[in-house]
Amino acid sequence: MPAKSRALASLLLALLLGGGTCALVLWALSDDSSAEAPAAPVGSASLSPYVPTGEARSLKVAFRTRTYQLHRGTGATAGAPLWIVLHGSGGNGEDVQSMHDGAFDRLADREGLFVAYPDGYDEHWNDCRPRADFAANLENVDDVGFLRALVEELHVALGIDLERVTIVGLSNGGQMVFRLALEAPDLAQTYAALLANLPAPGNDDCLHSEQPVKMLLINGSEDPINPARGGVVTLAGNTSRGAVLSAEATAQTFARLAGHTAPPVQRRWPERSADDETSIESSEWTSSGHDGVTWLRVVGGGHSAPTTARLKEWPAVMQAYWLEVFGRQSREFDTAEIVWRFSSSPGKALL
């Protein structure tokens, strides 16, 4: 992939998994790097873009100062749940906080949650893939220690309920969720890994506790970055992240760890957005005395978390390139709402 295309793909990924500015992406489309950035996307003036609210905080872990954004949901007091949302490659906490018009903050205000949006090291998380060429992996950054320290700090400072911690991650953040689920299964009550599959054998340097966890998985069947059928993860031409299992094998792994022996209940969800060219299928492992495991397959979907929020109306050239690099955006459900339903009470219907 040419250098300009790689740069554009990285910028688009930052937009998809979080923030960034459309002007920067459109600038990357230009052949003249000295040209002024084009105007904002068509239709964006009619949107009311979400402005993150909260506190910028830091703590020191293993001689490094780590940072995060904290949003206190309306009515959140001592004893409230804590959600931690992990961004994808090339992003930061503010990016994912703004995603889908601030979906996680809006959920927190409705339900009285605390939500933390931590920043990865140099915009990445040190997940289980040993050959990834980003700094967090190359320097073996202790992200498990960071996130443990974050939970403890918020427990001491705010009184968050240690029995109601949910950790959500997208893409590289989803891979970090896997590391936590495997190495620190006691840290959270619920884990949700989006747009990520477990690393394949030979591409995994995590310690496996073999402990059960409550796990929600959401994947696109036509994801061009994280292959649903398994294989090499490719991001803007970079293949250093190596191979992953299929989405189905990933779900089956967590179902086995949770002790499920019966096959999952499989359902096709009713269509809610007729024009997005995607549909939803679910596989749910539920049995008394075992942690629930649910896999949502976004049929036709790409490397993006489903949303019901209004999307910006990009120029045609960007829409075409976005589709090529990331695949289709599903509008069949709101991701934050689905994670809430999965985490908030056992057996609660996700539909």
pLDDT in tens, 28-46: 232 333 333 333 333 333 3
Per the structure block, which two tokens stand in for 256? 């086995």
Q: What is the DSSP letter of 307?
A: -
Q: Which is it for the CA torsion 72, 76, 82, 85, positive or negative?
A: negative
pLDDT tens digits, 87-142: 999 999 999 999 999 999 999 999 999 999 999 999 999 999 999 999 999 999 99
Query: Is 289 inside a domain boundary?
Result: yes
Q: Report H helices in the chain.
A: 3-17, 22-29, 93-111, 135-138, 143-158, 172-183, 247-257, 316-326, 335-344
The answer to the question of residue 3 being in a domain is no
Mean pLDDT of 174-195: 98
Task: Choose the weakest-confidence range: 1-15, 98-112, 129-143, 251-265.
Answer: 1-15
Residue 237 burial (C-beta neighbours within 10 Å; 0-12, 13-18, 19+)? exposed
Q: Between residues 17 and 102, which one has the greater pLDDT?
A: 102
pLDDT of residue 8: 54
Q: Which of 28-42, 213-227, 253-267 has the lowest mean pLDDT?
A: 28-42
Structure confidence at residue 319 (pLDDT) = 86
Of the listed ranges 66-80, 86-100, 122-136, 335-349, the least confidently predicted one is: 335-349
Q: Which domain holds residue 209?
A: 48-344
Number of domains in the chain: 1
The residue among 349 and 251 whose pLDDT is bigger is: 251
Is the pTM value of this prediction over 0.85?
yes
Is 166 among the domain residues? yes
The lowest-confidence range among 7-16, 48-57, 221-230 is: 7-16
Residue 231 β-bridge partners: 244
146 or 53, greater pLDDT:
146
Q: What confidence score (pLDDT) does residue 311 get?
A: 76
Give whole-number Cα distances, 301 to 80, 215, 256, 306, in Å: 34, 20, 26, 8
Query: What CATH number has the domain bearing residue 136?
Result: 3.40.50.1820
Whether 350 is covered by a domain: the verdict is no
Indicate the pLDDT class of residue 228, thresholds 50, 70 and 90: very high
Which pLDDT tens digit goes with each residue over 136-170? Answer: 999 999 999 999 999 999 999 999 999 999 999 99
Amino acid at 153: E
Higher-confidence residue of 203 and 43: namely 203
> Which pLDDT value is given to residue 318?
87
Largest pairwise CA distance in the chain? 63
For the chain, the average pLDDT equals 88
pLDDT band at 9 (very low <50, low <70, confident <90, very high): low
pLDDT for residue 37: 30
DSSP 8-state secondary structure symbol assigned to residue 44: G
* Residue 73 pLDDT level (bands cut at 50, 70, 90): very high
